[in-house]
Amino acid sequence: CPLELVTCDFQLSGCSRRIARRDRNEHNNENIAYHLGLINKSSVARDQRMALLEKTLRAREMELAQLHKTIEREREDRNEMMQQYDEKIQSLLELFEKKMASNSTDCKRALTGAMLTATNVDKMRRTVDGLSYTMQTVQKEMVDISSMVRLGQLSGGGG
């Protein structure tokens, strides 16, 4: 409809007028300088926003590069620390293995000594048991001899 109110073709540049569709060309021709001013103004504003965005982008890129360097440095530090831990653990494992071998040797010696001691104790026990048995036998014989002497069955002179 030619009388329908429509927005100006330069609305995005800042022209807020609403005009009849049939008057659009006339409006555009009469307002060329105004519209060019709006386009220029919006272009300058866009350029300023772009410059600000580019500046912000460069700052973010620098931050990102710095963060990347920091991460790399921390990764290298962590790798170096892990290598030191690995070396320390390896050293401790070697020391542990040496001590285990030494303890094993010491345990074998102690076990051998304990076995020898047990053998000696067993021999002594048998000797003591044998001596005890011999003592008991001697005591019985002495009691028997004593009884025989009292009963006069044993003569002092001969057999």
Q: Using CA atoms in the order 70, 74, 75, 76, what is the torsion angle rounded to 10 degrees? A: 100
**Out of 1-15, 35-49, 79-93, 99-113, least confident range:** 99-113
Look at 28-42, 55-69, 137-151 and tell me which has the smallest mean pLDDT. 137-151
Give the pLDDT confidence score for residue 118 in this predicted structure.
79
- Give the pLDDT score at 80: 93
Average pLDDT over residues 10-23: 93
Stretch 84-94: mean pLDDT: 91
> What whole-number distance in Å separates Cα of residue 41 and Cα of residue 15?
12
SS (H, E, C) 75-88: HHHHHHHHHHHHHH
Q: What is the pTM of this model?
A: 0.43
How far does Cα 82 stand from its chain's mean position?
10
Three-class secondary structure of residue 121 per DSSP: helix
- CB-based contact 21:3 (threshold 8 Å): yes
Q: How many C-beta atoms surround the C-beta of residue 37 within 10 A? A: 13
Question: Is pLDDT at 158 greater than 70 in this prediction?
Answer: no
